[in-house]
């Protein structure tokens, strides 16, 4: 086994009309649970030199401190085991800040950014609880992505 998805929170700043987390309690994963998940991955990865961990939610950026904790824990465990970790995060992108992107860039975290078609379509289906336009927020952050992760692509 070389990959694990960590649903680090069931909370979100959005209210998408097709969300599978709707109705869940807004709770976050405990740091100890995340550490056990990392250990589980290490215990079951066999001879793999690199293992993959995806931060998922809800909106995982609501738990940025927990993400930092998990990455720091991984750094300690990598030094002890010799295993490398590849991190990625699935996010709606609306909470990203320049310091977050700089941190993720330093740590080699890749992004899976959710954009649903056109501005009209995206805003219709991926509403924010704040009432703001998620499309406008994400598009305004694209220069940050280009600055910190210029190799990123789309599909």
Each residue's pLDDT tens digit, 124-141: 999 999 999 999 999 999
Task: Specify the pTM.
Answer: 0.91
Q: What is the pLDDT of residue 153?
A: 67
- CATH classification of the domain holding 35: 3.20.20.70
**Is residue 149 situated within a structural domain?**
no
What's the chain's average pLDDT? 91
**Is residue 105 situated within a structural domain?**
yes
The total domain count for the chain is 1
In this prediction, residue 114 has a pLDDT band, given cuts at 50, 70 and 90, of confident
Q: What is the pLDDT of residue 17?
A: 85
**Is residue 144 situated within a structural domain?**
no
**Is residue 152 situated within a structural domain?**
no
**Is residue 103 situated within a structural domain?**
yes
In angstroms, the CA 8 to CA 27 distance is 9
Residue in 49, 35, 37 with CA at minimum distance from that of residue 4: 37
Least confident of 53-62, 104-113, 146-155: 146-155
More confident residue, 153 or 105: 105
**Is residue 153 situated within a structural domain?**
no
How far, CA to CA in Å, does 69 sit from each of 30, 38, 80, 82, 97? Answer: 11, 12, 17, 19, 18
Q: What is the pLDDT of residue 23?
A: 66
Residues spanned by the domain of 121: 3-132
Residue in 70, 33, 30, 78 with CA at minimum distance from that of residue 53: 70
**Is residue 143 situated within a structural domain?**
no
**Could you read off the pLDDT of 38-52 as tens digits, one per residue?**
999 999 999 999 999
> In the beta sheet, which residues pair with residue 91?
113
**Is residue 9 situated within a structural domain?**
yes
Least confident of 3-7, 101-105, 112-116: 112-116
More confident residue, 143 or 20: 143
């Amino acid at each position: 086994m070389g990959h694990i998805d960590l649903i680090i929170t069931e909370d979100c700043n959005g209210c998408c009309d097709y969300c599978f987390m709707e109705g869940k309690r807004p709770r976050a994963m405990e740091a100890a649970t995340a550490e056990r998940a990392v250990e589980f991955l290490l215990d079951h990865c066999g001879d793999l030199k690199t293992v993959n961990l995806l931060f998922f939610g809800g909106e995982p950026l609501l738990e940025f401190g927990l993400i930092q904790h998990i990455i720091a824990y991984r750094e300690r465990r990598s030094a002890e085991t010799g295993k490398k970790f590849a991190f990625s995060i699935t996010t709606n992108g609306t909470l990203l800040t320049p310091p977050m992107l700089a941190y993720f860039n330093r740590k080699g975290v890749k992004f899976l950014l959710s954009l649903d078609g056109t501005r009209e379509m995206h805003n219709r289906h991926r509403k924010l609880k704040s009432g703001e336009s998620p499309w406008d927020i994400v598009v305004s952050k694209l220069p940050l992505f280009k600055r910190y992760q210029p190799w990123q692509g789309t599909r």
